[in-house]
Amino acid sequence: MKNKKQTQEALVLGIDTGGTYTDGVLLEYHSRTVLAAHKSLTTKRDFAIGIEKVIEGIQIQDPSSIQMVSISTTLATNAIAEGKGKRVALFLIGYDPELVASFQMERHFATPNFYYFAGGHDLFGQEKEPLDLTALLEKTSQLKSQVDAIAISSYFSPLNPEHETRAYNAISKVCDLPIVLGHQLSTKLGSVERATTAALNASLLSVLQDFIVAVRRAMEHRGIDAPLMVVRGDGTLMSDEFAARSPVETIHSGPAASAIGGRFLSHQDDALILDVGGTTTDLALIQGGNVTISETGASVSGYKTSVKAANLLSIGLGGDSHITVDRENNIVIGPERVVPLAYLAYQHPEIQNRLKALIQKTWPPPTPNWLEYWFLLRDPGDNLRAFSDREKTLIKILKAGPIAIPDLVKQVNALHKNQLGADELIRREIIGKAGLTPTDLLHIDGRHTPWDVKAAKYGLKLLSNHLHWEEPGLTEFIWTLSSELIAKAIIEFLTEKSIPPSSAHSPDLGLWFFRNSLYAEHPHLATQIHLQYPIIGIGAPADIMLQDVAKLLYTELILPDHYYVANAVGAIAGSVMVSEEILIYPHLSEAGMDVISYYVQARDGREEFEELTDALGHARKSGHDRVLSAALRSGADNPQVVVEEIADGIDSYRIRLQAVGNPRLSK
């Protein structure tokens, strides 16, 4: 889409870097008019390349007119899901190793490198036992060359962070690694969630910092000098400086931006947002004009955090989901994302001829394994000392070009692809995969044809020959299965209940009800599941992949203008918000019967007051000033502060403060 007009006073640029595409929009901020939009493939080896291509595609006539750039990203979520965060040592002060082991909580810590130390506090902020600084420093000396960052979480540190602070001061004198403190990320008392949040934040520090540098580099190359904002997981904005310090807050950033953008473009205050990307389909609920928020903290890849984020569900189904068959020859879609055959053949024209030769082969008949190609995503060069012999062999073979799995297995003298030993090479994005995808089906039926249509047709033909299906029927089945998977995800998301896998002999009533509602299978009973809200479709494949979903659930599909880049719109449609909680709790006598005074515990320290009214007044005033200052530093324009007082037990309170404002634009 070409830009219509670029002469308005307040031009802002929104960018979303997804797993497959990087999207960008140019918007006039005051009128909220989208002036231009562009999509480009995400370049994971260097995000700046894809971002710069998007900026170039938008064709900004005067880069100096851009007054703000805001970006949403799935980088943090994907780095956690794919295990690509940096190595972290987690220091647990005052935690009970036996208690953690008995409930198997150690698997939730998001790092295998966790260590216990004496110290910590109790429920009243009193020291449980002295901090063992000697042991902390000894362990730091052992580990500082083996990890990339250190996270510290002390028991009940939100009530008294003294031991975390002392540990930080001591370790920082003997170690240059980044150090993350749990109490600075969460005031919640959940010790495991706080430790997990600290570990994840530490693992993402350099990942997000490198990303922000890449964005800044792309802006500089295009002559854009403007404030840079980053979308949090709850859809609000923060400055790039804040994001670099608290990258864990960008978990679910991309899906949250999609929800904000969907609501902004559709003008619907109550709707279900479905963002269909290349890798995932993300679900979010809009009620009363706001994205519903997870009160218990964001979860990602099984790790429970203390991070406030939109209530979302992501399923591994998108335009580039791998279409394969299982051992029983049942069709499976996703959750793995691969490069479409059409794109691989577009980049490597010889692939089309190889696929054509396969469908002409009669004996032995080629299996769907021949549709899976591996290729070198990036050449690691000649420095191969860090790789195993098998990995070196794979790299050498793939330097000659993409190769189908059966040929690759044969060349390395393996029996099955599971013996190739490529997990680490794939994780590090040295090796990529290609295969048949829904994007290939779109090429075949002419709805999306930027790449090699014939290669896609040959791939579908091979699969249909293998299954002994007619191609039209096979294509229809794949689209129907996609719709069923999305409808199932919607019902599970809204009900918070699981539908068991389909089985011909399953006695489960819920599964029967679901299937009978979709396909009217019972001769005597009719069932229907009605979605009360419309579906707002987001992302380029939404038009194709959601029409049938809406019909199955008896609701309306709304595709607003610019729905294919709504995530980028959401990146600039949010407000800047800074939140803080201050805890007030009594200081009891040794017998625990009398209140001596009241503690006011904030992130930056603890103060003591004789009277509760003085403690509450100080918390409100100091918290107001602190959150207002933080919002201004984070790029808010004229932020307004809201103060909420919450009773939290006998003589205990939480003062919750929020400063909210529109992002500040450059002049």
Residue-level pLDDT at 351 = 94
Q: CA-CA distance, 551 to 483, in Å (whole number)?
A: 10
For residue 429, give both structure tokens. 């994005």
Residues 465 and 326 in one domain: yes
Which of 203, 231, 263 corresponds to the end of one domain?
A: 203
Judge whether residue 28 has pLDDT over 80. yes
- Is residue 190 within 8 A of residue 238, CB to CB? The reply is no
Lowest-confidence region among 35-44, 90-99, 125-134, 482-491:
35-44
CATH code for position 175: 3.40.50
For residue 542, give both structure tokens. 């939404």
User: Measured at the alpha carbon of residue 233, what is the angle toward residues 646 and 235, in degrees to the nearest 5?
Assistant: 85
Residue-level pLDDT at 4 = 43
Q: CA-CA distance, 372 to 388, in Å (whole number)?
A: 23
Residue-level pLDDT at 324 = 93
388 inside domain: yes
Residues 469 and 581 in one domain: no
Give the SS3 label for residue 78: helix
Q: CA-CA distance, 221 to 242, in Å (whole number)?
A: 23
Residue 348, number of CB atoms within 10 A of its CB: 17
How far are the Cα atoms of 57, 110, 128, 137 from residue 198, in angstroms, in the given order?
A: 39, 9, 22, 19
For residue 299, give both structure tokens. 């979860």
453 inside domain: yes
pLDDT in tens, 426-469: 877 788 899 999 999 999 988 888 899 999 999 999 999 999 88
For residue 484, give both structure tokens. 């069923």
Residues 335 and 469 in one domain: yes
Query: Which residue type, as a one-letter code, is found at position 546?
Result: L
Taking residues 118-141, what's their average pLDDT? 91
DSSP structure class, residue 369? G
Judge whether residue 31 has pLDDT over 90. no
198 inside domain: yes
Taking residues 268-289, what's their average pLDDT? 89
Residue-level pLDDT at 507 = 66
61 inside domain: no
Q: Which long-range contacts (CB under 8 A, 24 or more apart) does 590-596 make?
A: 595/651
Q: CA-CA distance, 594 to 219, in Å (whole number)?
A: 60
Residues 333 and 444 in one domain: yes
Judge whether residue 1 has pLDDT over 60. no
Taking residues 115-143, what's their average pLDDT? 91
Instruction: Please tell me the pTM assigned to this model.
Output: 0.79
Residue 359, number of CB atoms within 10 A of its CB: 19
Buried b (16+ CB within 10 A) or exposed e, 468-484: eeeeeebbeebbebbbb
Q: Which of 344, 295, 300, 293 is nearest to 322 (CA)?
A: 344
Handedness of CA 370, 373, 374, 376 (dihedral sign): positive
Place of tokens 């984020």: 309
Q: Which residues pair with 274 in a beta bridge?
A: 283, 537
- Is residue 605 within 8 A of residue 51, CB to CB? The reply is no
- Is residue 596 within 8 A of residue 125, CB to CB? The reply is no
Residue-level pLDDT at 456 = 95
Taking residues 123-128, what's their average pLDDT? 83
Q: Which of 375, 378, 392 is nearest to 429 (CA)?
A: 378
Residues 462 and 344 in one domain: yes
Residue-level pLDDT at 490 = 92
Place of tokens 């909580």: 105
Q: CA-CA distance, 341 to 350, in Å (whole number)?
A: 12
- Is residue 265 within 8 A of residue 571, CB to CB? The reply is no
Residue 416, number of CB atoms within 10 A of its CB: 9
Taking residues 30-34, what's their average pLDDT? 86
Domain limits at 647? 576-663
Length of the chain, please?
667
pLDDT in tens, 196-222: 999 998 998 888 888 899 889 889 988
- Is residue 542 within 8 A of residue 278, CB to CB? The reply is no
Residue-level pLDDT at 503 = 60
- Is residue 431 within 8 A of residue 324, CB to CB? The reply is no
CATH code for position 648: 3.30.110
Return the higher-pLDDT residue of 382 and 200: 200
> Which of 241-250, 361-370, 621-630 reaches the highest mean pLDDT?
621-630
- Is residue 208 within 8 A of residue 198, CB to CB? The reply is no
481 inside domain: no
Calculate the average pLDDT of the chain: 87
Q: Per-residue confidence at 318, pLDDT binned at 50, 70, 90?
A: confident
Return the higher-pLDDT residue of 154 and 85: 154
Judge whether residue 5 has pLDDT over 60. no
- Is residue 538 within 8 A of residue 261, CB to CB? The reply is yes
Taking residues 160-177, what's their average pLDDT? 92
Residue 263, Cα to own-chain centre: how many angstroms? 20
Quote the percentage of the chain above a pLDDT of 70: 97
Peptide bond into 364 cis (omega under 30): yes
Residues 461 and 604 in one domain: no
N- to C-terminal Cα distance for the chain? 27
102 inside domain: yes
- Total domains in the fold of the chain: 3
Judge whether residue 6 has pLDDT over 50. no
Taking residues 619-635, what's their average pLDDT? 91
Q: Which of 559, 524, 526 is nearest to 544 (CA)?
A: 559
Which of 440, 455, 473 corresponds to the end of one domain?
A: 473
How far are the Cα atoms of 127, 272, 560 from residue 268, in angstroms, in the given order?
A: 52, 10, 10
Return the higher-pLDDT residue of 258 and 518: 258
439 inside domain: yes
Q: Which of 370, 321, 68, 95 is nearest to 219 (CA)?
A: 68
Return the higher-pLDDT residue of 390 and 15: 15
Q: CA-CA distance, 97 to 91, in Å (whole number)?
A: 12
pLDDT in tens, 323-362: 999 888 889 998 888 999 999 999 999 999 999 999 888 7
Q: CA-CA distance, 445 to 453, in Å (whole number)?
A: 9
User: Measured at the alpha carbon of residue 502, what is the angle toward residues 501 and 503, in degrees to the nearest 5?
Assistant: 115
Q: Per-residue confidence at 68, pLDDT binned at 50, 70, 90?
A: very high
Give the SS3 label for residue 440: helix
Residue-level pLDDT at 504 = 52
Residues 585 and 445 in one domain: no
DSSP string, 106-167: GGGSS-S-EEEES--B-TTS-BSS---HHHHHHHHHHHTTT-SEEEEEETTTTT--HHHHHH
Q: Which residues pair with 33 in a beta bridge?
A: 28
Q: Per-residue confidence at 667, pLDDT binned at 50, 70, 90?
A: low
Residues 468 and 581 in one domain: no
369 inside domain: yes
Q: Which residues pair with 657 in a beta bridge?
A: 580, 643
DSSP string, 377-439: SS--TT--TTS-HHHHHHHHHHTT--EEHHHHHHHTT-SSGGGS--HHHHHTTSEEEEE--HH
Residues 469 and 593 in one domain: no
Residue-level pLDDT at 506 = 61
Handedness of CA 388, 393, 398, 404 (dihedral sign): negative
Q: Which of 312, 337, 273, 373 is nearest to 41 (CA)?
A: 337
Residues 453 and 588 in one domain: no
Which of 148, 177, 203 corresponds to the end of one domain?
A: 203
